Structure 1
């Protein structure tokens, strides 16, 4: 059954992580925050992932201050963060009490949606973070990390989704961090998840291999509820499909997002200038279709940082 498609905007987190090695400063987010707050996104992904590390290591900024200031500037929009399960926003596992305290503080600071994943799809590494976010009264997206291997069958992903539901998550996210999802596989996976699990389904992908726009359209046909997109100046390549393109593609259809292309265009003009400011962190690798990523399977958000290093 056709329905309105909701969008999560990644321009303040995964888009610049994937294209600009996570170097966007808070000072370049705040001037446009008011307009972003007017759009009507389902959520704004603006924290977590590599942003915490990059803020401290390279930008000499306080990530908690970024959260506070953006929350003040965008009171109407759901804020979303990416949580690496027991690793939180770091690169090794932390004790349960640290995980619980971090999640509690993030919730108090203004995070509404906790997209929680484990790179190995080991739900034991997601349990504490999920429980802490639920205890804080927040929305938890249980995340299925997509990859291709002899053991990663459609049935494997469906069973993983069912295990996440048992943990109490309110949404599922199919996270294709490598941009590996082919269109017809997407259709089969989304159809299977929606038929077996009565929860909203969120799809995240990258355009690295050139598949994501096609896979998004197949996901829509199969019943997906929410898509991750990035405003056009920070879209495509190792980032997500363009927000404006998806909005235009669905306009005056049963899937119409209801978002204002004129307003999105005004915001995009701002981010074109921002992208030019950070040009030194770009690489041709991030802006090309890299079909060989289907072999290496390097995530889009990792590739730009790897090249920068």
Structure 2
């Protein structure tokens, strides 16, 4: 009989690898006892990654969610672990050192035992402070090797990195095969090399299933000495998710390993609840294609977690491209055609920007850069014509050291725009910020929360936290749910039940379905305040929410939408669909009506695909109007401001 292998259920990642959201705290608390009852998990991944942001997006308090979700596992003696992004903490962009340090104190107090820290560039300098902060907070520091497959990312490369992390104090090592493209034999060699030097260090293997290597890789790393295996559960396993618990347990048992037995009655409870959550609302954000295995993913190497959101974002990208094609009387593009173009462009972009491991946030940066290239080229513009500031930070070295060299065309573009490369410690670019956020919370009369957890949340996710506190996030989320449900109901009606124009078949595309033509009105409740929300279809935006009862001073502000310019002048148009912001964070001063700008000056941002895309002035003049409010949704070509 071989040694024991333990299982970890990556419940948080199961959802975020499939779609855009995770269950609400009420749903999480309901499913926890059944997960415990299964009796086969030594660990459960409860939070981290996008978990906090996702809660803010649907208008809930993420701190409450973490505390209530981790509590039953603690009481049952099951360890909880979370994913963190080192320099980037829990977000897509770098985080000040004092906010990073508070992060570990807060998450330990909330009930998280293990922090799985990774750097999307595999820059050990970015991980080192996290080891220190985690251990000071009393957490287990598990450090991850972000696995990818390239001429640079060899067995020797990863072995060296693991030994450096252990030398710095890492308690455990995670083989984070986030795209599932690690080759089984090579992964086994990496684990074997680590165990030969440090047999006392626990190793946990994490892989996505999409490209098809994961089950073979699990067997290989177990043979090499791995201690813990991350697994998923149906109906969210396979595809962009993870290998299924039942398959992995049966395979390892046959190979002679000691593995836990599974309470199948409890397993069916969890499985049924997962399906119930999908039927309730989460399924509206999960593409059916994310359930499929796809060997095409071997090429671009995009991770499952990113593929989940990609398929959701792809609808908007396709709509934007096809708007331009319709204006020019060109054949419309299908989603599959766009996906293939995107995969090809990722393969072109990736080596030219230095082979960053395709993991958050750099997988999104490479994908976004590729997507922007595709969109711009389909609209007759040049490749590399739109690069978000966060992506420039990666290219210039401000986020860490790239594994490979940049292509000459990228270096020349940086020089032409007057951008400077950085070779120092990335953390030095981001000064401490907690005092600033304490002051802001005091001015707003907001409590910093138990263990400073609300202060942490505000400092980590400023824009999303403000939208959550105002109630705007919940109103927009509930309106989006209502719209998706109405679309589904309309699409499911028999043709004779609701007369509609005949479907139009695009020359090279799918059937274009008609949507409801009349606005749908509903009432939603936000923090005890009733709001009427009108949901429109087609190219119109969701109408502003208005109180269904008289407002109170504490009622959340209603979201607004872009309107016609109040003043004359040159129009500044949104380059893409997303959310409008004048600044990325409080370190920037927002532009005001009356300010003088010059050609090339930064005006504002459109947040899309998890990055802030800078909008710069194309002319000199004075700002005469700013149309959207911060956080408003904007469509491509909406007027953002006017300059005269």
Q: Give the corresponding residue for 1:20.
A: 19
Q: 1:285 Cα deviation (Å)? A: 3.0
**Alpha-carbon distance in 1 for matches of 2:249, 2:186:** 23
Question: What is the DSSP-based 3-state SS (H/G/I as helix, E as strand, rest coil) of the residue aligned with 2:162?
Answer: helix
CA RMSD of aligned residues (A): 1.7
Q: 1:50 Cα deviation (Å)? A: 1.2
Q: 1:35 Cα deviation (Å)? A: 2.2
**Alpha-carbon distance in 1 for matches of 2:196, 2:176:** 18
Q: Give the corresponding residue for 1:171.
A: 172
Q: 1:275 Cα deviation (Å)? A: 2.9
Mean Cα deviation higher: 136-145 or 35-44 = 35-44
Q: Deviations over 1:176-200 (max 9, x none)?
A: 1111022222222222222233211
Task: Answer whether contact 1:80 1:112 (CA < 8 A) is retained.
Answer: yes
**Alpha-carbon distance in 2 for matches of 1:94, 1:104:** 15
5+ residue gaps, structure 2:
314-644
**Alpha-carbon distance in 2 for matches of 1:21, 1:197:** 38
Matched, 1:161 2:165: no
Equivalent in 287, 291, 298 of residue 283 of structure 1: 287
Matched, 1:265 2:262: no
Q: Deviations over 1:64-118 (max 9, x none)?
A: 1111111333322211100100111111111111100111111111010000000
5+ residue gaps, structure 1:
none
Q: Give the corresponding residue for 1:202.
A: 204
Structure 1: which 4+ aligned runs deviate by more than 6 Å? none
**Alpha-carbon distance in 1 for matches of 2:27, 2:226:** 32
Question: What is the DSSP-based 3-state SS (H/G/I as helix, E as strand, rest coil) of the residue aligned with 1:165?
Answer: helix
Task: Answer whether contact 1:247 1:256 (CA < 8 A) is retained.
Answer: no
Q: Give the corresponding residue for 2:83.
A: 82
**Corresponding pairs, count:** 307
Matched, 1:34 2:33: yes
Task: Answer whether contact 1:251 1:258 (CA < 8 A) is retained.
Answer: no
**Alpha-carbon distance in 2 for matches of 1:256, 1:246:** 12
Matched, 1:10 2:10: yes
Q: Give the corresponding residue for 1:141.
A: 142
**Alpha-carbon distance in 1 for matches of 2:311, 2:117:** 26
Cα distance change on mapping 1:266 and 1:252 into 2, 3 Å: farther
Q: 1:229 Cα deviation (Å)? A: 0.3
**Alpha-carbon distance in 2 for matches of 1:266, 1:294:** 34
TM-score, scaled to structure 2? 0.46
- Residue correspondence of structure 1 range 52-131 to structure 2 within 5 A: 52-57=52-57, 59-74=58-73, 75-76=75-76, 77-131=78-132
TM-score, scaled to structure 1? 0.94
Q: Deviations over 1:2-23 (max 9, x none)?
A: 2111111012x10000012233
**Alpha-carbon distance in 2 for matches of 1:25, 1:85:** 26
Mean Cα deviation higher: 199-208 or 289-298 = 289-298
Q: Give the corresponding residue for 1:184.
A: 185
Q: 1:252 Cα deviation (Å)? A: 6.6
Q: 1:62 Cα deviation (Å)? A: 1.2
Cα distance change on mapping 1:16 and 1:254 into 2, 3 Å: same
**Alpha-carbon distance in 2 for matches of 1:285, 1:192:** 37
**Highest CA radius of gyration, 1 or 2?**
2
Task: Answer whether contact 1:232 1:244 (CA < 8 A) is retained.
Answer: no
**Alpha-carbon distance in 1 for matches of 2:247, 2:69:** 26
Q: 1:210 Cα deviation (Å)? A: 1.2
Q: 1:249 Cα deviation (Å)? A: 2.6
Question: What is the DSSP-based 3-state SS (H/G/I as helix, E as strand, rest coil) of the residue aligned with 1:224?
Answer: coil
**Alpha-carbon distance in 2 for matches of 1:245, 1:201:** 21
Q: Deviations over 1:115-137 (max 9, x none)?
A: 00000001111122221111112
Q: Give the corresponding residue for 2:249.
A: 247
**Alpha-carbon distance in 1 for matches of 2:118, 2:128:** 10
Task: Answer whether contact 1:2 1:223 (CA < 8 A) is retained.
Answer: no
**Alpha-carbon distance in 2 for matches of 1:253, 1:218:** 11
Q: Give the corresponding residue for 2:238.
A: 236
Task: Answer whether contact 2:35 2:270 (CA < 8 A) is retained.
Answer: yes
**Alpha-carbon distance in 1 for matches of 2:206, 2:258:** 19
**Alpha-carbon distance in 1 for matches of 2:272, 2:5:** 24
Q: 1:225 Cα deviation (Å)? A: 0.7
**Alpha-carbon distance in 2 for matches of 1:238, 1:267:** 20
Task: Answer whether contact 1:247 1:261 (CA < 8 A) is retained.
Answer: no
Q: 1:276 Cα deviation (Å)? A: 3.1
Question: What is the DSSP-based 3-state SS (H/G/I as helix, E as strand, rest coil) of the residue aligned with 2:107?
Answer: helix
Task: Answer whether contact 2:219 2:252 (CA < 8 A) is retained.
Answer: no
Give the structure with the higher percent helix: 1
